[in-house]
Structure 1
């Protein structure tokens, strides 16, 4: 039979083990919470550092475009802005608090592309009015890419419905006078207020197209089609002209009705040897194909550029696209999208 002293000793041992287990659990929990907080702070720091790298990259791109805009009004694929930036390591102070002896893991890569080398979807309609010539051009582009050409009209209608329509005052004063001099019509309208309120339903205003993905709202377009279109289509804030120094053969043959795909390929080969200095130079090199080309149908100068890149900061990545507008030597960021 155990004595009371031995029973008390056993209880003390069990109590000590329980207290030790509880203490270890509390300490482990504290260490885990501390690790989570440290990781959260580290992630916040990486996000902030990526934002600063992104800001620096866009400022760098704006500087390149601004300096290029000070020269002659010709943009082509042999200029400095068209040179891709391979993955480049950044200074260690940009990344994180590593020792000076450790290598940096921060890098930046990217490119600047001519937005006016692509078909601008906002050319399909202006102030809510569809542009038949642009619709035909978009049909040809869809045909060049082996896509359904009937979707061009549907896209134009959707874009027109998303734009604000201009309102003009009545140009026929006789109509206004006649309506006012007919008391029967006025009295009939006013005598049925319920009908007036039900007929005055406000028109639905759709959101404006701002990116290619907005085509998914048009019946018939799908994600696979948009993948094929991304390198050939863009949505710019206003109507623009095509830069023949940077456009692909598919877009050239679509936007210039007199060009076949083989003609457009010949134009691309010609500009690779020497860029087009102006629209007259462009027409003189291919007089049999471009004799009827109007001045406003093409250009050799660009106002909109797309900056795309990738920032790698340790284990964190950031892909981005940005649209920059250049007006002479002044550049402005239109939008930034993180992918």
Structure 2
């Protein structure tokens, strides 16, 4: 029997070697990819945990500021330290302050934050009531706000009726009764007004002036913008609202009593304690972190009772 030519044997051996090399290269590439993927996942998880920890720091800063403000007592106004905000600061510089080694670290992160008074906005929870007079007063306030923002009055009706209906459904559920199918769900965020069929443009116009809190609250006359003041105080014109805003900026803690603000308005306009006040219990805390190649922002709602500052909810929001 004739043996294959020697060049054929060499060709087969070469082909086998190429197959082996290809197989080894494929396996090696797969192992490298798996290792790279594991490193990327670990890096992303580490960045997420560190970001969360750093944003916790911004929230703790806000709670400390609000607690110290509570020790002083009195009214709450935009002239106080809590309203100043935390300017963007490089954390490596902050962490090395007071240490002998002031050289920069590898933590290339920048943190900023601010505190805003949630009661500077009109609380839609005020509409969730069985009291007909309170509901009508709240609906009138919302209608005036919509008019000031150039929105149709039907927007106020839709929001008010849904808030009341959702409240009624929740009361039935709390009593253990069966809720009818299709009953409205109580919304928790102003963004969720879109569930009522409102378009994005309408919701964006309303967002700076509305809030949804766990309970009924008056608007803080020391922090509310002119539009909200004109909405909650019947008969208040823009000139008078601007006068209140200008006057409160000259006071250390704003208007300590409603009577001080009332003296600027005369007898034609009446400030009612059920709609306006001078103190606040709810605040919105915004923390922003620039870390490596990402920017993350978190908004939290906190409630202050005495010296206790409790976080009610936290959520990440997109950075525009």
TM-score computed with the length of structure 2 as normaliser = 0.86
Equivalent positions of 1:31-46 (< 5 A) are 31-46=32-47
2:100 paired residue number: none
Equivalent positions of 1:107-122 (< 5 A) are 107-122=110-125
2:258 paired residue number: 279
The answer to whether the Cα contact below 8 Å between 2:219 and 2:275 also exists between their aligned partners in 1 is yes
Q: After superposition, what is the alpha-carbon deviation per residue over 1:146-175, rounded to whole angstroms, capped at 9, x for unaligned?
A: 1112221221110011114768xxxxxxxx
Which of 132, 135, 139 is 1:131 aligned to? 135
How far is the alpha carbon of 1:13 from its aligned partner?
Answer: 1.9
How far is the alpha carbon of 1:17 from its aligned partner?
Answer: 2.1
How far is the alpha carbon of 1:34 from its aligned partner?
Answer: 0.4
1:218 paired residue number: 196
**Taking structure 1 as reference, are residues 101 and 116 closer, same or farther at Cα in structure 2, changes over 3 Å only?**
closer
SS in 2 for 1:282: helix
2:166 paired residue number: 162
Which of 232, 238, 244 is 2:209 aligned to? 232
Which of 266, 291, 295 is 1:317 aligned to? 295
**Taking structure 1 as reference, are residues 217 and 10 closer, same or farther at Cα in structure 2, changes over 3 Å only?**
closer
State which drifts further: 259-268 or 310-319: 310-319
Quote the Cα distance in structure 1 between the aligned partners of 2:15 and 2:272: 96
Quote the Cα distance in structure 1 between the aligned partners of 2:26 and 2:93: 39
Quote the Cα distance in structure 1 between the aligned partners of 2:291 and 2:148: 40
Quote the Cα distance in structure 1 between the aligned partners of 2:60 and 2:260: 34
Equivalent positions of 1:219-298 (< 5 A) are 219=197, 221-274=198-251, 275-290=254-269, 292-298=270-276
SS in 2 for 1:236: coil
The answer to whether the Cα contact below 8 Å between 1:128 and 1:163 also exists between their aligned partners in 2 is no
Q: Structure 2: which 5+ residue stretches go unaligned?
A: 96-102
How far is the alpha carbon of 1:21 from its aligned partner?
Answer: 2.0
1:53 paired residue number: 54
SS in 2 for 1:231: helix
1:63 paired residue number: 64
Choose 1 or 2 for highest CA Rg: 1
Quote the Cα distance in structure 2 between the aligned partners of 1:280 and 1:128: 27
Quote the Cα distance in structure 2 between the aligned partners of 1:128 and 1:276: 30
Q: After superposition, what is the alpha-carbon deviation per residue over 1:264-316, rounded to whole angstroms, capped at 9, x for unaligned?
A: 112111212222121121112322454x3233331110000001122222123
**Taking structure 1 as reference, are residues 5 and 92 closer, same or farther at Cα in structure 2, changes over 3 Å only?**
farther
Quote the Cα distance in structure 2 between the aligned partners of 1:128 and 1:310: 41
State which drifts further: 85-94 or 115-124: 85-94
Quote the Cα distance in structure 2 between the aligned partners of 1:202 and 1:43: 44
Quote the Cα distance in structure 2 between the aligned partners of 1:244 and 1:297: 10
Quote the Cα distance in structure 2 between the aligned partners of 1:236 and 1:145: 22
TM-score computed with the length of structure 1 as normaliser = 0.82
SS in 2 for 1:78: coil
How far is the alpha carbon of 1:227 from its aligned partner?
Answer: 0.8
Q: After superposition, what is the alpha-carbon deviation per residue over 1:54-104, rounded to whole angstroms, capped at 9, x for unaligned?
A: 22221211111111011122111111111122222223999xxxxx76543
How far is the alpha carbon of 1:212 from its aligned partner?
Answer: 0.5
2:99 paired residue number: none
2:30 paired residue number: 29
1:193 paired residue number: none
Q: Structure 1: which 5+ residue stretches go unaligned?
A: 95-99, 168-199
**Taking structure 1 as reference, are residues 201 and 19 closer, same or farther at Cα in structure 2, changes over 3 Å only?**
closer
